[in-house]
Structure 1
Amino acid sequence: MNKGNQRTQSRTHRVRYNKEDVMFKSILAGCVLSAVLTMPALAEVIPALHDALPQEYKENGVKAAVFNDWAPDEFQDADGQLKGWSVDIAKEMEERLGVPFTFEGTSFDAIIPGLQSKRFDAGFSSFGTTAERLKTLDFVSQRKIGTSFAYPAQSKLDIKTAADACGLTVAVLNGSWDLGLLEKLNANECKHNPVTMQTHGTQAQAELAVRSQRAQA
């Protein structure tokens, strides 16, 4: 199952709700817009954005977590380098803010706890903006996508609505919004024939489970 969803997706997050954090979120939002509109032009520091940064980021830079297994958005290649258009945007933001970003590739389910514990200052991945996450995180949203069920072309499945997944074993990514979606499905449409949720640490593992017929979608 894809980890996208029908709600707005976000690429950058902050955890603490104080004056400097709200400022940091606003700065990042402006920086994302600047990066998207001007790529691939030569990046330059935007003085107004740099000057508005809280002092801690000017002195220490930004610790950024990046999901390492969601190509082409963000992923780690065979040489261990973080790649993807999400990473490209993050690097453009780094140039425009004029402070160094320290990028750390990590699993999807480690990013939000890392933000909440202040291990990371920002996270780059396709996070769904949910009411629960908004209790502890800020989001800079940059696109809207939807959730879908994926299954082999030769399969006899014909999933046209969420209720068509009732009774199936579904591979899903740890920490993803889709876990909540399936839980709601089991509490409602699939109450009498629930979906079996099979969680995986990486998208590649989830896809392998479907290809090897350990999961149906």
Structure 2
Amino acid sequence: MKRVLVLMVAMMLAFATTAMAGDGSLEKVQKAGKLVIGLDDTFAPMGFRQDDGTLVGFDVDAAEEVGKRLGIKIEWQPTAWSGVIHSLNAKKFDCIWNGMTITPEREKAVSFSKPYIMDGQIAVIAMGNKSIKAHKDLGGKVVGVQKGSPALEAAKSLKPAPKEIREYDTNVKALLDLESGRLNGVVVDNIAGRYSMAQRPGKYLALPGYITSEAFGIAFRQGEDSLRAAVQKTIDAMIADGTMGKISRKWFGEDVTNPAKW
């Protein structure tokens, strides 16, 4: 009986492996010699442009290392974040690797990798604002968020509710409106928000605590499991050998990629 069970399990695993390999997604990328990745290229520090136009960031470094290990080139395709999933499924690129939060709604449309960073939404106010000291103080105020990001739902969850939630193409634009006094607060990814704060010291202040906590994942088209598995296997190896930790410390000053610390 044991032999029969072992044989059945082996057959099931072999079938699953064959099915995964047979979807052609990894083979297609290998044949093209490149992995095309969609991103919002204003999302610092995950992926953004330096003054000379060079694309840099945590996700950029991590993806370039994955490409090197898989023997393929990484090609970046900037796109509007509000339509990024539609663009992925329209085959404008092979995956989305840009600090994308894993949500149940998104999981209906794409297949995610395992989480590679744990993040959360925070609220940022202008430095010197004495009337807002906690999330509850944003009730009845005007709050900005990036269009198409989890910040919108996080802002909607605030109690008491904000008077108005304004949507922006980028976090940078929202923060500039905060600085100019057109907003009372901005709800933003912790990592992106704190990076922006570091770039303009003395301008912004993060309110204590998280509004929500969330995991970042890489999004692939549903059914393209062989490509997703190959990228995941490479990332797992990079976590194990310390490469992901090294990249993390470069951008965040600490290792935020180690699941054991979440």
Which category describes the TM-score, using the shorter chain as reference length?
0.5 to 0.7
Separation (CA, whole Å) in 1 of partners of 2:47 and 2:107: 23
For residues 94-138 of structure 1, the C-alpha deviation after alignment (integer angstroms, 9 at most, x for no partner) is 111112221123343242221132212111212211110111112
Higher relative contact order (CA 8 A, sep 6+): 1
Q: 1:201 aligns with which of 153, 156, 169?
A: 169
Is 1:76 the counterpart of 2:44 in the alignment?
no
Q: Matches of residues 150-165 of structure 1 in structure 2 within 5 Å? A: 150-161=124-135, 163-165=136-138
Distance 1:20 1:173 in 2: 41
* Bigger helix fraction: 2
Counterpart of 2:72 (choices 82, 99, 102) is 99
Q: 2:94 maps to what in 1?
A: 121
Partner Cα distance (1:160, 1:23) in 2: 51
The verdict on how the C-alpha distance between 1:157 and 1:144 changes in structure 2, with shifts beyond 3 A counting, is: farther
Taking structure 1 as the reference length, what is the TM-score of the superposition?
Answer: 0.68
- For residue 5 of structure 1, what is the aligned residue in structure 2? none
Letter in 1 for 2:27: Q
With normalisation by structure 2, the TM-score equals 0.57
* Distance in 1, Cα, partners of 2:18 & 2:46: 29
In 2, the alpha carbon distance for the partners of 1:156 and 1:98 equals 54
Q: Aligned residues, how many?
A: 167
What is the distance in 1 between the residues matched to 2:65 and 2:78? 18
CA distances 1:56-85 after superposition (whole Å, capped 9, x unpaired): 111123211122112222101222221112
Match of 2:31 among 29, 36, 59: 59
Partners in 1 of 2:166 and 2:27 — Cα distance?
44
Instruction: Say which of 103, 108, 119 aligns to 1:130.
Output: 103
Structure 1 runs of 4+ aligned residues shifted over 3 Å read 19-24
* Pair 1:67–1:168, CA change in 2 (3 A): same
Going from structure 1 to structure 2, the CA distance change for 1:68 and 1:111 (only over 3 Å counts) comes to same
Structure 1 CA distance, aligned partners of 2:19 and 2:45?
Answer: 30
Q: Is 2:143–2:155's contact at 8 Å kept on the other side of the alignment?
A: no
Whichever residue aligns with residue 58 of structure 1, its letter is Q
Measured in 1, the distance between the counterparts of 2:31 and 2:169 equals 34
After superposition, the Cα gap between the structure-2 partners of 1:197 and 1:138, relative to the gap in structure 1 and judged at 3 Å, is same
Letter in 1 for 2:54: Q
RMSD: 2.7
- Report Cα offsets for 1:114-167 as digits up to 9, x if no partner: 113221211121221111011111222211112111011211233423x33211
> 2: CA distance between counterparts of 1:21 and 1:164?
53
Flag the 1:183–1:132 CA change in 2: closer, same or farther, 3 A: same
Higher deviation after alignment, 194-203 or 105-114: 105-114
Q: Does the residue aligned with 1:145 lie in a helix, a strand or coil?
A: strand
Q: Identify the residue that residue 84 of structure 2 maps to in structure 1.
A: 111
Greater CA deviation, 128-137 or 63-72? Answer: 63-72
CA distance in structure 1 between the partners assigned to 2:63 and 2:76 by the alignment: 9
- Report the secondary structure of 1:58's partner residue: helix
CA separation of 1:178 and 1:211: change in aligned 2, threshold 3 A = same
